[in-house]
């Protein structure tokens, strides 16, 4: 059975949201998803529709969103719907909404040196198999400095500082590039790579996103299995009490 995904793109044009949305659509269709692509935040208005999905892919930068829309998304993810995205399209979407930041796991605060910085993405050994087989690789793009949730599982990092700036007066730090977390029954996946479509099209980056989409979409089935098991236990318990 095909899974259902919703991609919502918009916000700052500098992140090439429409082009990246089409790349994501192609990846998901290759993985046998039914994909709806929208350029309106009103796509988040129907909570029941959102809960019927397997995956939400936001790609909206520096926008403003109604609080009820974020609540609708949050409740869908809590029920098992996955959410997965990249760069400013997910973790610089709505700077004034802390509920969004809490759910997604972090928020952009700086990219020292702006675009064109060459830096390393270092793959971490962790309990997650998501990045198995990938080696460290170089990127020439924006290097994202993020404020992030300590609950996330970090799958890849990059080391700061690469360029000079006030942050360089501190010791070197390893900043998350790829992470996962849970939100209720739902899986949350994020990669800070993806300033423009050419970065998303890199073989390493597109593979990371493909695996992230698939992993995030697994939460719905897990939630449904848990619900079936809970109902079975409840039924058995009723029988024992008679």
Per-residue pLDDT tens for 62-118? Answer: 999 999 999 999 999 999 999 999 999 999 999 999 999 999 999 999 999 999 999
C-alpha 81/C-alpha 188 separation (Å) is 9
Q: For 158, which DSSP code?
A: E
The C-alpha atoms of residue 67 and residue 60 are separated, in whole angstroms, by: 15
Q: Is residue 39 scored above 90 in pLDDT?
A: yes
What's the pLDDT score for residue 242?
A: 43
Q: What is the CATH number of domain 3-107+180-241?
A: 3.40.50.2300
Share of the chain above pLDDT 70, in %: 93
Q: Is 35 exposed, middle or buried, given 0-12, 13-18 or 19+ CB atoms closer than 10 A?
A: buried
On the question of pLDDT at 38 being above 70, the answer is yes
Given 3-state DSSP classes, what are the helix, strand and coil percentages for the chain, each rounded to the nearest 5? 40, 30, 30
- Residue 238, pLDDT > 60, answer no
Q: Average of pLDDT values for 200-218?
A: 98
Given a cut of 80, whether residue 233 has pLDDT beyond it is no
Dihedral of alpha carbons 219, 220, 223, 224, sign: negative
Residue range 212-218: average pLDDT?
98
Share of the chain above pLDDT 90, in %: 88
DSSP-based three-state secondary structure for 23: helix
- Which residues is 82 bridged to in the sheet? 55
Whether pLDDT at 232 is above 70:
no
pLDDT at 125 (0 to 100): 83
d(CA 16, CA 9): 9
Grade residue 241 by pLDDT with cuts at 50, 70 and 90. Answer: very low
The pLDDT of residue 226 is 73
Closest-CA residue to 21 (of 67, 61, 68, 63): 61
Neighbours of 104 (CB within 10 A): 28
The domains of the chain are located at 3-107+180-241
The mean per-residue pLDDT over the stretch 127-145 comes to 95
Q: What is the mean pLDDT of residues 214-219?
A: 96
The whole model's pTM is what? 0.93
Q: What is the DSSP letter of 112?
A: T
């Amino acid at each position: 059975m095909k899974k259902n995904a919703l991609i919502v793109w918009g916000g700052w044009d500098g992140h090439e949201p429409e082009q990246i949305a089409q790349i994501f659509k192609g990846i998901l269709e290759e993985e046998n998803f039914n994909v709806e692509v929208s350029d309106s935040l009103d796509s988040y208005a129907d909570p029941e529709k959102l809960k019927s999905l397997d995956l939400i892919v936001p790609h909206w930068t520096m926008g403003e969103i109604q609080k009820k829309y974020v609540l609708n998304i949050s409740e869908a993810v809590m029920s098992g719907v996955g959410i997965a995205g990249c760069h400013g399209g997910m973790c610089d979407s709505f700077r004034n909404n802390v509920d969004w930041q809490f759910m997604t796991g972090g928020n952009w605060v700086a990219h020292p040196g702006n675009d064109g910085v060459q830096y390393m993405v270092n793959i971490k050994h962790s309990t997650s198999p998501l990045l198995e087989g990938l080696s460290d690789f170089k990127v020439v793009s924006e290097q994202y400095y993020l404020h992030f949730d300590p609950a996330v599982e970090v799958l890849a990092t990059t080391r700061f500082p690469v360029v000079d700036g006030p942050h360089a007066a501190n010791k070197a730090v390893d900043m998350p590039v790829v992470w996962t977390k849970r939100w209720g029954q739902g899986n949350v996946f994020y990669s800070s790579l993806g300033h423009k479509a050419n970065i998303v099209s890199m073989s390493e980056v597109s593979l990371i996103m493909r695996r992230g989409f698939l992993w995030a979409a697994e939460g719905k089935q897990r939630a449904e299995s848990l619900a079936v098991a809970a109902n079975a236990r409840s039924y058995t318990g009723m029988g024992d009490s008679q």
